[in-house]
């Protein structure tokens, strides 16, 4: 169902897991589990090498396809990189940008992520733009400041008209892949701040439409309470997206709201 004007979205980030054939098998299982439901938006984000087989497996499905990264330039001498045009040619509709693993292990800066967000929107790809604080930053009470800077810098040059295509994911770094989840209240507090900040950057109307996903060890056992929060519009799911059962279960929990 929907939260006022926002439909829940459950997105799976497979990270560096699944070959092309393993990915297609997982999608077939997800398709079987979900049937043709349209109450909840569902996206899977396989690694680049599994996008083509995943797109084929998704041909008659309502599940959409996303990538986990892209380069801001359309083409050129950028060895090892993949552009928005290439992702569109593989039927991708979404792309995860600014994931904390890319910020940390590949030194991606706010301004580089900003270039990608703008390029994705220009190419009609929906960015799932990730923000979040580290444990150190949370303990130093810098969460709001850190997330606010990531939003302001990452969304430079984005217009309020682009809001229909923009998705934000709040992922506290200390909760990713650790089994530690933010309590629903902790998550809601930051989601509310994010929506307020989106309102000052893009305007109130745009902010009301943008889906803000929670990410960080979300699983069927803790999803319901998180999804009940006023500003949590879905989940970006890592570990629990790697097999069909918990992933399908998460979509069903969102659909039951
Ligand atoms: C992620 O990496 O986007 C994520 C939320 O991972 P996990 O669900 O495994 O914490």
Region class of 39: left (phi > 0), else alpha (psi between -120 and 50), else beta: alpha
Contacts of 252 by beta carbon, 8 Å cutoff, 6+ apart? none
Q: Can you read off the two tokens belonging to residue 104? A: 């940390």
* 200-208 contacts at long range (C-beta below 8 A, 24 or more positions apart): 201/151, 201/152, 201/155, 201/158, 202/155, 202/158, 202/159, 202/160, 202/162, 202/163, 203/160, 205/160, 205/163, 206/160, 206/161, 206/163, 207/163, 208/4, 208/5, 208/6
For residue 244, count other CB atoms closer than 10 A to its CB.
18
- 77 CA to centre of ligand 1 in angstroms: 32
Report residue 1's pLDDT band, with 50, 70 and 90 as the boundaries.
very low
Q: Which of 182, 218, 242 to mutate to test the pocket of ligand 1 (most atoms within 8 A of CB)?
A: 218
The answer to whether 101 and 69 have CB atoms below 8 angstroms apart is no
pLDDT tens figures, 112-135: 999 999 999 999 999 999 999 999
Q: Can you read off the two tokens belonging to residue 71? A: 């380069």
- Mean pLDDT over 1-22 rounds to 90
Higher pLDDT, 4 or 211: 211
Q: Determine what percent of the chain is predicted with pLDDT higher than 90.
A: 93
- Mean pLDDT over 43-58 rounds to 98
User: To the nearest whole number, what is the mean pLDDT of the chain?
Assistant: 96
| Distance of alpha carbon 167 from alpha carbon 146, whole angstroms | 18
Q: Which atom of ligand 1 is nearest to the CA of 169?
A: 3
71 is catalytic: no
The yes-or-no verdict on residue 3 having pLDDT over 90 is: no
Res 2: pLDDT: 54
pLDDT tens figures, 197-213: 999 999 999 999 999 99
pLDDT tens figures, 151-164: 999 999 999 999 88
The yes-or-no verdict on residue 141 having pLDDT over 50 is: yes
99 is catalytic: yes
The yes-or-no verdict on residue 138 having pLDDT over 80 is: yes
Superfamily name and number for 3-255? Aldolase class I (3.20.20.70)
Contacts of 125 by beta carbon, 8 Å cutoff, 6+ apart? 70, 84, 87, 88, 92, 93, 94, 95, 165
């Amino acid at each position: 169902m929907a939260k006022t004007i926002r439909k829940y979205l459950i997105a799976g980030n497979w990270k560096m897991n699944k070959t092309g054939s393993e990915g297609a098998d997982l999608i077939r299982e997800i398709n079987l589990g979900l049937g043709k439901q349209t109450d909840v938006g569902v996206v899977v984000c396989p690694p680049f090498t599994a996008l083509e087989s995943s797109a084929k497996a998704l041909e008659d499905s309502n599940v959409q396809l996303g990538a986990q990264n892209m380069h801001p330039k359309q083409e050129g001498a950028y060895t090892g990189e993949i552009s928005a045009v290439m992702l569109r040619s593989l039927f991708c509709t979404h792309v995860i940008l600014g994931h904390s693993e890319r910020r940390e292990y590949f030194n991606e800066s706010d301004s580089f992520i900003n270039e990608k967000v703008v390029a994705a929107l220009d190419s009609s790809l929906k960015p799932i733009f990730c923000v979040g604080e580290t444990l150190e930053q949370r303990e130093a009470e810098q969460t709001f400041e850190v997330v606010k800077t990531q939003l302001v810098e990452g969304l430079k040059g984005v217009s309020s008209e682009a809001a229909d295509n923009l998705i934000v994911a709040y992922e506290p770094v200390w909760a990713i892949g650790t089994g530690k989840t933010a309590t629903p209240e902790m998550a809601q507090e930051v989601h509310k701040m994010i929506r307020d900040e989106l309102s000052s950057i893009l305007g109130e109307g745009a902010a009301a439409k943008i889906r803000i996903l929670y990410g960080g060890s979300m699983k069927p056992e803790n999803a319901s309470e998180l999804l009940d929060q006023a500003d949590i519009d879905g989940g970006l799911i890592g570990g629990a997206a790697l097999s069909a059962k918990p992933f399908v279960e998460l979509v069903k929990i969102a659909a039951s709201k």
